[in-house]
Amino acid sequence: MNSCLKKVLIVDDSLFIRKVFSDMFNETKDFKVVGAAQNGLEAISKIKSLRPDLVTLDIEMPVMNGLDALKIIMRDMPLPVVVVSSQTKEGSEETVKALLYGAVDFVTKNVNDLDMVKSTVLATCRNAVNANLNELQKNFTAQKPVAIPPAAAKTKEKLVAIGTSTGGPKALQEVIPNLPGNLPCPVVIVQHMPPGFTKSLADRLDACSQIKVKEAENNEQLQKSTVYVAPGDFHIRFAREGGIAFIKLSKDPPVGLHRPAVNAMFESAAQVYGANCVAVLLTGMGQDGAAGMAKIKVQNGYTIAESQDTAIVYGMPKAAAEIGVVDKILPLHEIANEITRAVI
């Protein structure tokens, strides 16, 4: 075998999917399938013996499901895992859990459009295979937030805008639960995800946070001490009427191939909030957010980027740092405190 080829283990209870994925990977010049498993227990055994570089992992399987297997994999023999998920509501909830447990990314499985699934799987796996394993393996151990005395809040209305992509759900689970419940401003998040998954992400974050977390709705008024997650396939922007700020969702064309796009959110935040905007870029593939962060910088807003040391994929924060629009580069575990400090 070519030593440069990345070894793949395919885990799925469907013989058909195992065959489709095996042929797909073996037709490439950068991957080689070294084995397949039809349940989580078999996957664990084969990871130990075959030492793959990457695993594609189904969730709903007999004997041992993908989530239970993933916990053991990331604890005992961490490696990049891409989840292949169903498109059901239950599938979205389980996929969000998988991302929080350490999966690098996910692909929705639609057997009615296998060509799209195959191309998406390959692109996702090529991005995932070099992920930062040290960060993926970490368990979530958020410290209990310290509440801010209400009197400490400044009078000028602020906004925290956070953009992230690959590795984002796990990163957000370290940032959002460490924000105080009485944060004196709203927080808005763009996480690259398709429809159906952002609601599950918001619910999971809400369950482990002092601050309220919800999926954003069109035309709702932005409230302090609330985190809004942009819904999948909708851009999120802002408008102000009579001194009150509102959320505006739209299906305008994708920006840089993304909808929601971090750049769209950041650019609108720069227009509506100006110097009162705190912009944050966390782990993610690509460059989305760098151009928008530059516009916030021009307005004298405050900008934060996750450091290479902790980013699962150092793409989006790196793009902003390279063009010189980041005020502070911090490891993930320091970002919640820096956000809190910046808005009080």
The distance of Cα 135 from the centroid of its chain, to the nearest Å, equals 13
Which residue is listed with tokens 């993933």?
A: 70
Point out the catalytic residue in the list 85, 92, 165, 209. 165
Give CA–CA dist 265/188, Å, rounded.
9
Q: Cβ(277)–Cβ(299) under 8 Å?
A: yes
Active site residue 192: yes
Active site residue 165: yes
Active site residue 288: yes
Q: How does 150-168 read in b/e, with b if 16+ C-beta sit within 10 Å? A: eeebeeebbbbbbbbbbbb
Point out the catalytic residue in the list 85, 105, 192, 209. 192
Our separate counts of H helices and E strands in the chain read: 12, 14
Which structure tokens are listed for 36? 């397949």
Give CA–CA dist 238/269, Å, rounded.
7
The distance of Cα 200 from the centroid of its chain, to the nearest Å, equals 12
Give CA–CA dist 100/102, Å, rounded.
5
Q: How far is CA 31 from CA 22, 34, 66, 125, 129, in A?
A: 10, 9, 22, 9, 10
What are the residue numbers of the active site? 165, 192, 288
